[in-house]
Amino acid sequence: MTAPQSPSFGAGATDSAIVTIRRGLAVAPVLRNGLGLTFVLAAVGSAGRIVVPILIQQAIDKGIVGSGEVNVGLVAQLALLAGAAVCVAAVAFRMAQVRLGERSEQALYDLRSMLINHINYLSLDDHNEERRGGLVARVTSDIETLTQFFQWGGMAWMRSSTLMSIVGIVMLAYDWLLALIAFAISFPLALVLRAVQKRLVVAHGQARQSNGIMLGAIAEVVSGAPAVRAYGAGTMLASVVEETTERKARDQIRAALYGAFLFPSGEIFAVFTVSAVIGVGVWQGPTDGLTAGALVSFVFLTYRFLEPIAEFTEIIDQTQTAVAGLHRVLSVLDMPITPTEPHEPTPLPSGRLEIAIEHVDYSYPTRTGEHSDSAAGEGVLVLQDISLLIPAGQQVAVVGSTGSGKTTLGRLIARFADPTNGTITVGGVPLTAVARSNLRSRLVVVSQEPFLFDDSVERNIAFACSGASRDDVEGIVRHLDVVEWVDSLSEGLETRVGERGSRLSAGERQLVALLRAGLADPDVLILDEATSSVDALTEVRIARALDVLASTRTTIAIAHRLSTASRSDRVLVLAGGILVEDGHHDELVQMDGTYARLFDAWMSATSIRDGESMQPNK
Ligand X SMILES: Nc1ncnc2c1ncn2[C@@H]1O[C@H](COP(=O)(O)OP(=O)(O)OP(=O)(O)O)[C@@H](O)[C@H]1O
Site residues for Mg ion per CB under 5 A: 407
531 near ligand X, judged by CB under 6 A: yes
Partner interacting with residue 553 (select from ligand X, Mg ion, none; CB below 5-8 Å by kind):
none
Partner interacting with residue 450 (select from ligand X, Mg ion, none; CB below 5-8 Å by kind):
none
Q: How far is the CB of 577 from ligand X (least distance, A)?
A: 7
Helix (H, G, I), strand (E, B) or coil at 312: helix
Q: How far is the CB of 226 from ligand X (least distance, A)?
A: 50
Residues sharing a CB contact under 8 Å with residue 98, sequence separation 6 or more, in sequence order: none
Number of residues in contact with ligand X, rule: CB under 6 A? 15
109 near ligand X, judged by CB under 6 A: no
* Nearer residue to ligand X within complex by CB, 74 or 335: 335
* Nearer residue to ligand X within complex by CB, 407 or 555: 407
Q: How far is the CB of 560 from ligand X (least distance, A)?
A: 6
160 near ligand X, judged by CB under 6 A: no
Q: Which of 287, 402, 490, 615 binds ligand X (CB under 6 A)?
A: 402
Q: Which of 162, 319, 408, 555 binds ligand X (CB under 6 A)?
A: 408
Q: How far is the CB of 383 from ligand X (least distance, A)?
A: 8
Bridge partners of residue 456, in order along the sequence: 496
Q: Of 1-9, 220-228, 401-409, 484-492, which part binds ligand X (CB under 6 A)?
A: 401-409
* Nearer residue to Mg ion within complex by CB, 255 or 445: 445
* Nearer residue to ligand X within complex by CB, 333 or 598: 598
How far apart are alpha carbons 489 and 496 in whole angstroms? 10
Residues sharing a CB contact under 8 Å with residue 67, sequence separation 6 or more, in sequence order: none
- For residues 503 and 497, the answer to whether their CB atoms sit within 8 Å is yes
Q: How far is the CB of 246 from Mg ion (least distance, A)?
A: 58
Neighbours of 13 (CB within 10 A): 6
CA 96 to chain centroid: 23
- Cis-peptide into 345, omega within 30 deg: no
Q: Which of 112, 132, 406, 459 binds ligand X (CB under 6 A)?
A: 406
Query: Angle between the 72-120 and 129-148 helix axes, to the nearest 10 degrees?
Result: 180
**What secondary structure does DSSP assign to 582-605, as a single string?**
EE-HHHHHHHTSHHHHHHHHHHHH
Residues 332-371 that bind ligand X (CB under 6 A): 364
* Nearer residue to ligand X within complex by CB, 396 or 462: 396
Q: How far is the CB of 385 from ligand X (least distance, A)?
A: 15
* Nearer residue to Mg ion within complex by CB, 136 or 530: 530
Residues 440-469 that bind ligand X (CB under 6 A): none
- For residues 557 and 448, the answer to whether their CB atoms sit within 8 Å is no
Q: How far is the CB of 402 from Mg ion (least distance, A)?
A: 7
* Nearer residue to Mg ion within complex by CB, 402 or 615: 402
403 near ligand X, judged by CB under 6 A: yes
If phi > 0 it is left, if psi is from -120 to 50 it is alpha, else beta; for residue 501 that is left
Neighbours of 303 (CB within 10 A): 15
Q: How far is the CB of 398 from ligand X (least distance, A)?
A: 8
DSSP 499: G
Residues 118-137 that bind ligand X (CB under 6 A): 128
* Nearer residue to ligand X within complex by CB, 33 or 531: 531
Q: How far is the CB of 114 from Mg ion (least distance, A)?
A: 26
Chain position whose Cβ is nearest to ligand X: 374
Q: Which of 116, 26, 29, 7 is nearest to 334 (CA)?
A: 7
**What secondary structure does DSSP assign to 451-495, as a single string?**
---SSBHHHHHHTTSTT--HHHHHHHHHHTT-HHHHHHSTTGGG-
Residues sharing a CB contact under 8 Å with residue 430, sequence separation 6 or more, in sequence order: 423, 424
532 near ligand X, judged by CB under 6 A: no
* Nearer residue to ligand X within complex by CB, 128 or 161: 128
Partner interacting with residue 368 (select from Mg ion, ligand X, none; CB below 5-8 Å by kind):
none
166-199: string of b/e by CB count within 10 Å (b at 16+)? bbbebbeebbeebbebbeebbeebbebbbebbeb
**Total residue length of the chain:** 618
404 near ligand X, judged by CB under 6 A: yes
Binding-site string for ligand X from residue 374 to residue 393, where x marks contact by CB under 6 A and - marks none = xxx-----x-----------
- For residues 5 and 315, the answer to whether their CB atoms sit within 8 Å is no
162 near ligand X, judged by CB under 6 A: no
407 near ligand X, judged by CB under 6 A: yes
Phi, psi for 134 (deg, rounded to 5)? -60, -45
Q: % helix / strand / coil in the chain, to the nearest 5?
A: 65, 10, 25
Partner interacting with residue 403 (select from Mg ion, ligand X, none; CB below 5-8 Å by kind):
ligand X
Q: Which of 63, 308, 405, 507 binds ligand X (CB under 6 A)?
A: 405
How far apart are alpha carbons 173 and 333 in whole angstroms? 47
- For residues 22 and 29, the answer to whether their CB atoms sit within 8 Å is no
Q: Which of 454, 453, 456, 451 is nearest to 495 (CA)?
A: 456
* Nearer residue to ligand X within complex by CB, 345 or 576: 576
List residues near ligand X by CB under 6 A. 128, 364, 374-376, 382, 400, 402-408, 531
